[in-house]
Amino acid sequence: MTYTCACCDEVHDDLPDLSFDRPSYAADVPDDEFEARVKLNEDLCVVDDEFYFIRGVLKIPIHENEQDLGFGVWVSQKKENFETNLENYDTPDIGPFFGWLSNEFKFKGEPTLSLKTMAHFQGYGQRPLIELDESDHPLSVAQRNGISLDEAWKIVHEYLGR
């Protein structure tokens, strides 16, 4: 799909997903302490052997479009649920598990850190789908009701620094 963007008047191909490489809690650990305190790979993070996070995909439907706007986000997990995920990574037969959205960013001017979520495990090497608790937060409303393609591109440009 190509699209002429209302934000920059350029022609774009597919809408990119936006992602965070670590939970905000891990990003706050000083560089000189990071290696000793944080265990991090592309999908899992443990801070101070006490705080557990998994990476998932939060999707926002785009009106009249097959593609969603995807956010690669981190959510907190209880230690027991984190370990259940580790032991059953290739099966969708676990969860869903509660967690707190663990990335700080603004969505339509509102902070997102600590929104309530449910992680729905897909198994087979796929990251869990992250569903926000129903609320009046703009990100939750967008996930439930969808957004226009123009809104999606505006969000992408905002996060990619255009």
Q: In this prediction, what percent of the chain has a pLDDT beyond 70?
A: 93
Rounded distance, CA 77 to CA 130, Å? 12
Residues β-bridged to residue 69 = 60
Is the previous residue joined to 96 through a cis bond, with omega within 30 degrees of 0? yes
H-run or E-run covering 139: helix 138-145
Q: Mean pLDDT across the stretch 19-27?
A: 95
CA–CA distances in Å: residue 98 to residues 72, 116, 147, 162? 17, 7, 25, 34
**Per-residue buried b or exposed e for 125-146, using 16+ beta carbons within 10 Å of the residue's own CB:** eebbbbbbeeeebebbbbbeeb
Pairing, β 106-107 against β 110-111: antiparallel
- Of the ranges 37-41, 56-60, 88-92, 93-97, which one carries the lowest mean pLDDT score? 88-92
Confidence at residue 158, expressed as pLDDT on a 0 to 100 scale: 82
- Residue-averaged pLDDT of the chain: 91
Report, as an integer, the average pLDDT of 124-138: 95
Compute, in degrees rounded to 10, the torsion defined by CA atoms 16, 127, 59, 93: 160
Residue predicted with more confidence, 41 or 14: 41
pLDDT digits (tens, 9 = 90+) for 113-128: 999 999 999 988 899 9
The pTM of the full predicted model, rounded to 2 decimals, is: 0.89
Q: What is the pLDDT of residue 8?
A: 65
The SS3 assignment for 34 reads: helix
Summarised one tens digit per residue, pLDDT across range 147-161 is 999 899 889 888 876
Q: How far apart are CA 118 and CA 25, in angstroms?
A: 19
**Domain spans of the chain, in order of start:** 3-160
Residue 162 has pLDDT above 50, yes or no: no
